[in-house]
Amino acid sequence: MYNYFSKLLFLSLYSPTIKSMKVIREIFGNLPGKADASLYTITNSNDVTLKVSDYGGIIQSILVPDKNGKPGDVVLGFDNLEGYLQDQPYIGTLVGRYAGRIAKGSFVLDGTEYNLARNHGQNHIHGGIVGFDKVLWQASEFANKKGAGVTLKYISHDMEEGYPGFLRVSVSYTLDDENQVCLDYQASTDKATHLNLTNHAYFNLNGAAAEIYDHELMIASSAYVVTDHDLIPTGEIGSVEGSPLDFRVPKLIGKDIHEVEGGFDHCYVLEGDGKEPLLAARVVHQESGRVMETYTTEPGVQFYSSNFLAGITGRGGIPYRKHLALCLETQHYPNSPNIPGFPLTILRPGKTYNQRTIYKFTTL
Ligand code: BGC
């Protein structure tokens, strides 16, 4: 007893993390005919604030101070749940079971053909009609010596959106005192299935004040997944050398964006070994002084310059439009279930799917 209380006292007096970090839950809104969705606010001792909802695992807001200490939101989002219930392109959401496109919405796994929801022309995208972005997750808050956050759990039933296997998924969002937002994904299944999870946050380090042309980007990759006119991977891996896709040396996004039809929407090949998160990308916004680094265990990152964003009004009445934000969706390559030779996306019973992705914020 004595030991327990003295340990608690010691932790509360000497652990800055435990002392400063807290998670506050509030009602975010009502899901028609269902339960209430909640919004969890986590604040660290540097005034960085992360807001996550159990509806769709949405990152609703990340407030980060600029070089003068003035906080600004570095992700697009909506003030209330209704904003997320409208037809909107995965703003801040989790994506699953499969991030990206699967050609013709079908694959053959262990000799059986599976037909998925075709929710993008003839193809399947981002998990189908009711993907992980549109379900209510079961949430629990935590605070430990690494930081504070929320763990979301969801059970996806056998054949949901056409995918085999009863799948248990868990995603933890942790904010720490090094201004890192860490996403830890885990999943297991009772039947072989395909799985490719990501988060679809749209970043703008300048509080969505203007298009991302003045954001400087580095992507630690010399190769990308070649796609056809429907953005379906052909199986070929291309070199970025000498093309507008080359971001190995930091470059303003606006420099070459108009050289690429529509803008950037490419999966870059990363060197990750699946164990330790490696630096995938760095975004620098000179004027605000905000910097974001992305680290991941995944073999790919989809750099999407919000080419199809249009027609919706976001936080603060800002019209959300083409090139207003960038997504760095850490993942396996699109259409992997149909392309032998791509890193495998199969999850088998008895195995655990693991992914760690970190978005780290600093200032110049
Ligand atoms: C895809 C885009 C798509 C967007 C919204 C991104 O992951 O690469 O092609 O328009 O998601 O669905």
Residue whose C-alpha is closest to residue 318's, from 71, 76, 82, 63: 76
For residue 265 and ligand 1, the question of a CB distance below 6 A is answered with yes
CB 152 within 8 A of CB 184: no
Spatial separation of the C-alpha atoms in residues 188 and 172, rounded to whole Å = 15
Which range among 9-23, 107-121, 122-136, 346-360 shows the weakest confidence by mean pLDDT?
9-23
Confidence of residue 12 (pLDDT cuts 50, 70, 90): very low
Pocket mutation for ligand 1, best pick of 76, 301, 304, 322 (most atoms within 8 Å of C-beta)? 304
Which pLDDT score is estimated for 14?
44
Q: What is the 3-state secondary structure (H, E, C) of 31-59?
A: CCCCCEEEEEEEECCCCCEEEEECECCCE
Q: How far is CA 265 from CA 27, 58, 278, 289, 321, in A?
A: 35, 21, 21, 26, 15
Pocket mutation for ligand 1, best pick of 126, 225, 326 (most atoms within 8 Å of C-beta)? 126
Spatial separation of the C-alpha atoms in residues 261 and 213, rounded to whole Å = 15
**Rg of the Cα atoms in the chain:** 20
For residue 95 and ligand 1, the question of a CB distance below 6 A is answered with no
User: Does 82 qualify as catalytic in the annotation?
Assistant: no
Ligand 1 atom 12: residue of nearest CA: 89
Q: Which residues neighbour 349 within 8 Å (Cβ) at sequence distance 6 or greater?
A: 165, 188, 189, 190, 191, 192
Which pLDDT score is estimated for 21?
84
Which pLDDT score is estimated for 33?
84
Q: Cα dihedral sign for 283, 286, 288, 289?
A: positive
Which pLDDT score is estimated for 6?
44
Is the pLDDT at 28 greater than 50? The verdict is yes
Which pLDDT score is estimated for 9?
42
Helical residues (DSSP H) of the chain, grouped into ranges: 2-14, 16-20, 81-85, 253-256
The 10s digit of each residue's pLDDT in 240-296 is 999 999 999 999 999 999 999 999 999 999 987 788 999 999 999 999 999 999 999
User: Does 329 qualify as catalytic in the annotation?
Assistant: yes
Q: How remote is the CA of residue 148 from the centroid of ligand 1, in Å? A: 30
Confidence of residue 19 (pLDDT cuts 50, 70, 90): low
Share of the chain above pLDDT 90, in %: 91
CB 78 within 8 A of CB 91: yes
Which pLDDT score is estimated for 165?
98
**Closest ligand 1 atom, residue 198 Cα:** 7
Cis peptide before 97 (omega within 30 of 0): yes
The 10s digit of each residue's pLDDT in 66-80 is 999 999 999 999 999
The 10s digit of each residue's pLDDT in 164-203 is 999 999 999 999 999 999 999 999 999 999 999 999 999 9
Spatial separation of the C-alpha atoms in residues 315 and 79, rounded to whole Å = 6
The 10s digit of each residue's pLDDT in 218-229 is 999 999 999 999
Spatial separation of the C-alpha atoms in residues 329 and 301, rounded to whole Å = 5
Which pLDDT score is estimated for 17?
47
Phi-psi region of 190 (alpha: psi -120 to 50; beta: other; left: phi over 0): alpha
> Percentages helix, strand, coil for the chain, rounded to the nearest 5?
15, 45, 45
Is the pLDDT at 83 greater than 80? The verdict is yes
Share of the chain above pLDDT 70, in %: 95
CB 259 within 8 A of CB 232: no
Tokens matching residue 118: 């075709």
The 10s digit of each residue's pLDDT in 308-327 is 999 999 999 999 999 999 99
* Average pLDDT, rounded, for the chain: 94
Confidence of residue 5 (pLDDT cuts 50, 70, 90): very low
Which pLDDT score is estimated for 13?
42
Task: Find the mean pLDDT for residues 39-44.
Answer: 97
Length of the chain: 364
234: amino acid identity, one letter: T
Which pLDDT score is estimated for 8?
42
Ligand 1 atom 6: residue of nearest CA: 304
Count CB atoms within 10 A of the CB of residue 316: 11
CB 48 within 8 A of CB 73: no
For residue 211 and ligand 1, the question of a CB distance below 6 A is answered with no
Q: How remote is the CA of residue 288 from the centroid of ligand 1, in Å? A: 27
